[in-house]
Structure formats: C-alpha cells, structure tokens
Amino acid sequence: MQTKRAIFPNKFLPYALLAPQLAITFVFFFWPAAQAVKQSFYKEDPFGLSSRFVGLANYTKLFQEPDYLNSIGRTAVFAISTTGLALILALIFAVAVDRLIRSRNAYTTLLLWPYAVAPAVAGILWWFMFNPTVGILPYMLDVVGYDWNHRLNQTDAMILIVLAASWKQISYNFIFFLAGLQAIPKSLKEAAAIDGAGPVKSFFTIILPLLSPTSFFLLVVNIVSALFDTFAIIDATTAGGPAQGTNVLVYKVYQDGFIGLNLGSSAAQSVILMAVVILLTVIQFRYIERRVQY
C-alpha cells in the first residue's frame, strides 16, 4: 500500500490518531457484525429468554422459505429496472448537456438538485402523485383506461418504487457521466468528425467505450444503492406490500427482525447481505486502485 517516502518516526502517535475512528468502527460495526454472525447460528425465542445453537439451520431454512426466494426475485427486478432506468436517462442527459456550451451550467443546476432529496421524501412525493384517491397520475391513467392501484396491484407498487428510486438516482449518475464526458479529449471527437463519423457513430465508437470506467463504477454504486438505500423509499410508501410484492431483501431483514421478531433468521439475512456488500466493495476497490495507479 502506498505511503510517503519520508515519514514521521513517532511510535505511538499514529495509534492515537487512529483511535477515535477505530473505536467507533469497532463498537458500532465489528461488534454488531460479529453479533449478527453469532446470532445467525442460534434460534432465540421472541422474548429473548432462551436461545439454542442450531448450526446452519437458519440459513438452510431461509433458502427453502418461499417468502425469501420471492424477496430475492423482487430485489433483482427492482435493482435491474432502477439501475437500468437511472443509468440510461442520466447518460442521455449528460450527453445532451455536454453538447452545449452557453446553457451548460443552467441545465446542470436544474438536473442535479434531486441528489439532495432524502429517499424517504422522494418516496412520499411519488406516493402522493400516484395516490389512487387524489393523485394526478392515476387520474391521467384512468383517462386512457388503466385502473392504477398500488395498494392492491403488485406491478403498480413495483413501478412506483422503481420510479421514485430512479428519480432520486439520476442526478448522481448525471454528475459522474458529465465529469467523464468532459475528461474525453476534444481532439478524438474532432478526428472522428473529420473522418466522416456522424454524431451517432462517434457516440457508439468513441464516447461510449471511453466512458466505460465511469459506467462500470456507476453500475456497482447503483446496484449497492438499489439494494440498500431503497429501505427508506419502501418504508415510506409500500412497506413491502401488497402481499410481499415489494419486500426486497434489506426490508425483509428489518421486517423479520423488528416486526416479526425472528432474530435468528433476520441475523442470517444480515450476514448474507454483508457478504454481498463486502464482495462488491472488493470489486470496486480493485477497480479504484487500477485507475489510480494505471
């Protein structure tokens, strides 16, 4: 790992400097994580009076439980649609803004502020627009003959949270795509134009390949965010319903733990999710180090 050529010789100072962060990380991260791992091997009664060791039973039971398998499926549908929608729209907006000169800053400002909106608030905004009684969108859909009701229809509920989550995510992706586009040398685009490539051809043969590091980075970040930031959106709108229709993995950890009080199963789900995140972090880190050091 990189460091400075010249360093300070102190023996104890570095530990003192690291102490606050390591202490907090240990108490609020490693200790709870270890507890989750331990708990996932035990079966506890909901009142916390007794617990017994059950080995891997919590895990094996999880993968036989239809609700959990359903939750994996819902999470996949949600993550793929949100990531796809947010990435494609953001890329279109970024390419459009990058073409402009005078109005570039104005458009950027108008597109980036949803980053500041809390996911829970984004959920409530869309929930209000889609509200079957007073919402404007069900009214418009009714005109074309579609009876919208996200309280009863699972597909409607899924569309609602996908829209709310993508709406929130677009601005983030947009900022990164725009930064990536502006790092592409002008001379490459000019060379392509001189060789007779039209805007569409030069986009697919020059711009898109040069954007691939940014796109890969955003893909991982978007998947992580679709897996976890969704919690607030779902809790503020559908609460996992109707009939488990939007009960994604991270919401199920909470529901089984805090509401269902099935602590062993909730802990096992936590451990699985932690493993997924750590895997994604390692993938991301390998990519970061490669880009920093070339």
Nearer to other proteins, 158 or 168 (CB): 168
Helical pair 154-182 and 119-129, crossing angle rounded to 10 deg? 130
Q: Exposed, middle or buried, 198 (CB in 10 Å: 0-12/13-18/19+)?
A: exposed
> Per rule CB under 8 A, is residue 175 in the interface with other proteins?
yes
Near other proteins in 50-79, by CB under 8 A? none
Among the candidate windows 61-69, 70-78, 107-115, 147-155, which touches other proteins by CB under 8 A? 107-115
> Per rule CB under 8 A, is residue 115 in the interface with other proteins?
yes
Least Cβ distance, residue 194 to other proteins (angstroms): 8
> 70, 108, 153, 154: which one contacts other proteins (CB under 8 A)?
108
Among the candidate windows 53-61, 64-72, 144-152, 277-285, which touches other proteins by CB under 8 A? 277-285
CB 129 within 8 A of CB 135: yes
> 72, 189, 203, 242: which one contacts other proteins (CB under 8 A)?
189
Binding map of other proteins across residues 16-55, x = CB under 8 A, - = no contact: -xx-xxx-xx-xxxxxxx-xx--x----------------
> Per rule CB under 8 A, is residue 7 in the interface with other proteins?
yes
Among 99, 119, 47, 70, which Cα is nearest to 263's? Answer: 47
Among the candidate windows 63-71, 143-151, 154-162, 259-267, which touches other proteins by CB under 8 A? 259-267
Annotate 160-193 with b (16+ C-beta within 10 A) or e (fewer). bbbbbbbbbbbbbbbbbbbebbeeeeeeebeebe
User: Which pairs with CB-CB distance under 8 Å and at least 24 residues apart come from 79-83?
Assistant: 79/223, 79/226, 79/227, 81/158, 81/162, 81/166, 82/162, 82/165, 82/166, 82/169, 82/222, 82/226, 82/230, 83/219, 83/222, 83/223, 83/226
> Per rule CB under 8 A, is residue 203 in the interface with other proteins?
no
> Per rule CB under 8 A, is residue 198 in the interface with other proteins?
yes
**Single-letter amino acid, residue 266:** S
Binding map of other proteins across residues 77-106, x = CB under 8 A, - = no contact: ------------x--xx--xx-xx--x---
Nearer to other proteins, 54 or 280 (CB): 280
